Amino acid sequence: MINNDAEKYLNEKYEDCNHWISYYFQYDLIRYSNSESILDIGTGTGFLPAILKQKGYAVKSLDVNPNLNPDIVGSITSIPLKDSTFDIVSAFQVLEHLEFDNFERSISEMARVSKRYVVLSLPYFCLYLGIGMLPFRSKYLDWIYIIFNKRSASLDIVNFDISIQLTFMGKVGMVSDHKWELGRKGFPKSKVESVFSSKGLKIIKSFHRQMYPYHFFYLLEKVGL
């Protein structure tokens, strides 16, 4: 029998096509990093750890809720692990569920436990226009994405996009479970990204997810390695 906490994630909302595509991009970023050991924070459906384990990665999941059966029970603001335990630490669509006052501490903890990379996604509230092209088409248009340096983390799609932050908007229309969102009033990208740099992390890749730009991904690397 599935407990109520797990059933929250194992429903149509979290099993729809849109979320499956996000799982692909989560996996693709981890694959891109050439990491072998992963700590995934925020168990949710458990699909990503299951996929990574099937692919031969050494994966552990962490969640504050023991009813979701994570490998490690603990909070992202105080991860119960030693420094530099995993090659990469991930938290996809997790941090917006905490008050922003906890964001800096959470990023610091993720960086501490990671040997090299931190990868995450956040909800990004913005106006967005994007164009995706398949490689067999884009080879005739190399000059465009060379000039604009716009290639997605995936090797399957070349993406060109423009986004405009709506920083004048407050919480109107925001998902009820979210405490804050990237691009909304008080939370511009510059504020969020300054936290990364203050914790010794540089941005290797950042991009909107194709077909659902509300999910914004970051691949971060520890400076000085």
Distance, CA of 9 to chain centre: 17
Q: Tell the residue number behind the tokens 């630490």, with chain if given.
A: 89
What are the structural domains of the chain? 4-125+176-222 (3.40.50.150)
The candidate with the shortest Cα–Cα distance to 48, out of 67, 16, 71, 22, is: 22
pLDDT of residue 141: 58
DSSP states along 33-81 = TT-SEEEEE--TTSHHHHHHHHTT-EEEEEES-GGG--SEE-BTTB--S
Rounded Cα distance, 79 and 100, in Å: 18
What is the model's pTM? 0.82
Q: Is 27 helix (H, G, I), strand (E, B) or coil?
A: helix
- pLDDT tens digits in sequence order for the chain, 225 residues long: 334 455 555 555 556 777 788 898 999 999 999 999 999 999 787 889 999 999 999 999 999 999 989 999 999 999 999 999 999 999 999 999 999 999 999 999 999 999 999 999 999 987 877 776 655 555 555 565 555 555 544 445 556 677 777 778 877 778 889 999 999 999 999 999 999 999 999 999 998 887 788 899 999 999 976
Q: Are 209 and 222 contacting, i.e. CB atoms less than 8 angstroms apart?
A: no
d(C-alpha 154, C-alpha 139), whole Å: 15
Residues 6+ apart with CB under 8 A from 54: none
Give yes or no for a contact between 84 and 115, defined as CB atoms under 8 angstroms apart.
yes
Helices assigned H by DSSP within 10-121: 17-32, 47-54, 103-113
186 φ/ψ angles, rounded to the nearest 5 degrees: 90, -10
